[in-house]
Amino acid sequence: MTSFARNQWYVAAYGREVGRDLLARTVLGEPLVLYRTEAGEVVALADRCVHRRFPLSESRLDGDRIVCGYHGFTYAPDGGCVYVPGQQRIPRTARVASYPVVEQDSFVWVWIGDQGLADAAAIPRAPWLADPEWTTVSGMEPLDARYGLLVDNLLDLSHETYLHGGYIGTPEVAETPITTEADEEAGIVRVSRHMHGAECPPFYAKSTGIEGRIDRWQDIEYHAPCLYLLHSRIAPEGVAPGPDGDDGGAFHVEIVYAITPSTENTTYDFWAVARDFARDDEDVSSFLHDSNRAVIMQDVEALNVLEKVIATEPDGYQELSINIDTGGLAARRILARLAAGEQVRAGADAR
């Protein structure tokens, strides 16, 4: 059974998805309803009316309040009930949980765990996504697989060669060794692969216009549990950054994933591709959007199959790991520690 790291920030939605309609999302097994107040603040409440469990996301907004669609219990943005039908007295326990929310870098981050530990300054950044100097395409695909499978997938990009040939995979990705660095304290895993004189896959050939071979750098930075950054540098072969760090001869793509466990066996796969070139070119935007989505769907299909395989295998099945798995194994260790540490704390609280 997957155990979740509860005392962490997770992406529940893009800011653009949350408005004056009620949006249902389930994060770490907790059903949430999200909406924006008239003043524009994002609210996240438990999506279950205290009366007879009707989903508040199936109800309606009256100003900043949700009116339950079953018998009319009415909730303020702090989750407190302000009206019940047929009586003046509102029971003291008439309230739904409200969750801390932070809007940052185009994402809506939510905190499901112990509210006393929620520190907005601890949210990792993906500044390109809301920076006017960058152009971003993005989306979200739901996955019928546990989030750990997506973490494994993203920390080992050698699979690009086999699963994503024709889009982003070329032989060099699988052939080039990686370097891995894990900062267990900070919960960050870095995996780098720098390819020289590599084939240019269609994803980059068509978007950058480079003809011929390229130097292609992939520098992954995974901030456990939720945020994954892939700093991608593409340049014509032999074009290096200048001594002062100037890198005007290269194309830069920041690929961002937010990996949010929905339930034990389902995950939200938020993805974004930000670029610093052809920024006003709509054709490049739609090409990158469609290509990246196609790549994501190849992963979704593969991971959904893996989830089914895991469901049928006997206990104690042993995987075989090799060098390419170093980053994924480091991530697993960090995630296990985050989840276990919090379980210990939760146990201590209960006594």
Contacts of 302 (CB under 8 A, 6+ apart): 153, 163
65 near ligand FES, judged by CB under 6 A: no
Contacts of 138 (CB under 8 A, 6+ apart): 14, 106, 129, 270, 271, 272, 273
80 near ligand FES, judged by CB under 6 A: no
Tell me the per-residue interface mask from 20 to 49 with ligand FES, x by CB under 6 A, - otherwise: -----------------------------x
Beta-strand ranges (E) seen in the chain are 9-14, 23-27, 30-36, 42-46, 60-62, 65-67, 74-75, 81-83, 101-104, 107-111, 135-143, 179-183, 188-198, 214-223, 227-236, 251-263, 266-275
CB of 159 to Fe ion, least distance (A): 6
Which partner from the list ligand FES, Fe ion, none does 299 bind, CB cut-off 5 to 8 Å by kind? Fe ion
Which partner from the list Fe ion, ligand FES, none does 167 bind, CB cut-off 5 to 8 Å by kind? none
Q: What are residue 296's phi and psi, to 5 degrees?
A: -60, -40
Around 254, how many Cα atoms within 13 Å sit in the side-chain half-sphere?
21
279 near ligand FES, judged by CB under 6 A: no
Q: How would you class 320 by CB atoms within 10 Å of its CB: exposed for 0-12, middle for 13-18, buried for 19 or more? A: exposed
Which residue's CB is nearer to Fe ion, number 56 or number 230? Answer: 230
Which partner from the list ligand FES, Fe ion, none does 68 bind, CB cut-off 5 to 8 Å by kind? ligand FES
Site for ligand FES (CB under 6 A): which residue of 31, 51, 131, 345?
51
Q: Please, are residues 36 and 17 in contact by the beta-carbon 8 Å criterion? A: no
Site for ligand FES (CB under 6 A): which residue of 41, 52, 91, 179?
52
- Tell me how many residues contact ligand FES (CB under 6 A): 9
Which partner from the list ligand FES, Fe ion, none does 152 bind, CB cut-off 5 to 8 Å by kind? none
Which residue's CB is nearer to ligand FES, number 60 or number 125? Answer: 60
273 near ligand FES, judged by CB under 6 A: no
* Binding positions for ligand FES, rule: CB under 6 A: 49, 51-52, 54, 68, 70-73
